[in-house]
Amino acid sequence: WIAFPFCIMYAIAVLGNITLLLIIKAEPSLHEPMCLFLAMLAFTELVLSTSTLPKMLGIFWLGAGETGFFSCLAQLFFTHTFSSVESCVLLAMALDRYIAICHPLRHSSVLSVPVVVALKTLVLVHGVLLVSLFCFLLCRMPFCQHHVISHSYCEHMAVVQLACGDIRVNVIYGLFMAFIVIWSDMNLISVSYTMILWVVMRLTSAEARLKTFNTCASHVCVILTFYVPALFMLLTHRFGQSIPPHVHIMVTNLYLLVAPMLNPIVYGVRTEKVWDRIV
């Protein structure tokens, strides 16, 4: 029965993100930095949810619990690559809000369309290179014990723990990857919003402060839905041996579903230009 809410959430995520992409593509007035980053976020979430949910539904409804090693490796690659990409896109969106609020006169010159395209390319290449080493290290590992992972998709540490060789390099690189992607991006986003808050609180008009806060509210909601489950997963993998496995598995699945489902709804309702196009 639990597959039914998952299936509904996946359908909403696919429909919402495709709608968002089509609206941004069709409306020239939305071809601005924030909406271009939003389009990349929607594409990223489509890939993230699609790389895991169809297989998960196959496990629930068809009993398709087996997968080949290279299929597992491909799923791991797409899941972790686009998780990294999503974190970087959220950082880029925070940078966009910082420049728009703290240096509004320089916004169009600093974040021109070519710069945004270059940033999107850099973000994608960054994710591919970091996760490719994951896959290379896994290909070198011997798997001579049981081949059952405790997740509904091929998560890196779950696969590494099946290996019967020395996994220290994989664990160290996993921690390094988590620091580079999650910790550094979170700190930079925090710095951006601290500076935004400092500028906003110095505004004399209460109406101007409220309007500025409203422009950032959508992004803050998206950041929370992405980073809170991500931090939970990271900490439980390293330090949460006492947490029941089913709790960890459930949070991991929701991490791949809740943000892709909620983000197009949040941005569709809270972004005036997008909402005007919808209605």
Read off the CATH number of the domain in which 260 is found: 1.20.1070.10
The kind and range of the H/E element at 135 are helix 113-139
Single-letter amino acid code for the residue at 199: V
Residue 124: domain span: 2-276
Res. 166: pLDDT tops 80: no
The kind and range of the H/E element at 121 are helix 113-139
Dmax (CA) of the chain: 67
Task: Say what the pLDDT of residue 78 is.
Answer: 92
Instruction: Return the structure tokens found at 227.
Output: 């980073």
Measured in degrees and rounded to the nearest 5, phi and psi for residue 144 equal: -120, 5
Half-sphere exposure of 62 toward its Cβ, with a 13 Å CA cutoff?
Answer: 8
Round to whole Å and give the CA distance between 214 and 193. Answer: 13
Confirm if 160 and 114 have CB atoms less than 8 A apart.
no
Mean of the pLDDT values across residues 41-51? 91
The pTM of the full predicted model, rounded to 2 decimals, is 0.87
Res. 215: pLDDT tops 80: no
Mean of the pLDDT values across residues 4-26? 89
User: Any long-range contacts for 156-163 (C-beta under 8 Å, 24+ apart)?
Assistant: 156/76, 156/80, 157/237, 159/72, 159/76, 163/138
Nearest Cα residue to 223 out of 263, 268, 174, 273? 263
Q: Which of 121-130, 136-145, 146-155, 205-214 has the lowest mean pLDDT?
A: 205-214
Mean of the pLDDT values across residues 226-231? 80
The per-residue pLDDT for range 172-186, each reduced to its tens digit, is 887 787 777 778 888
Q: Which positions ≥6 away from 28 have C-beta within 8 Å?
A: none
Task: Say what the pLDDT of residue 46 is.
Answer: 92
Nearest Cα residue to 77 out of 131, 121, 39? 131
Task: Say what the pLDDT of residue 47 is.
Answer: 92
Instruction: Name the domain count of the chain.
Output: 1
Single-letter amino acid code for the residue at 190: S
What does 184-235 look like in DSSP terms, one character per residue?
HHHHHHHHHHHHHHHHHHT-S-HHHHHHHHHHHHHHHHHHHHHHHHHHHHHH
Res. 279: pLDDT tops 60: no
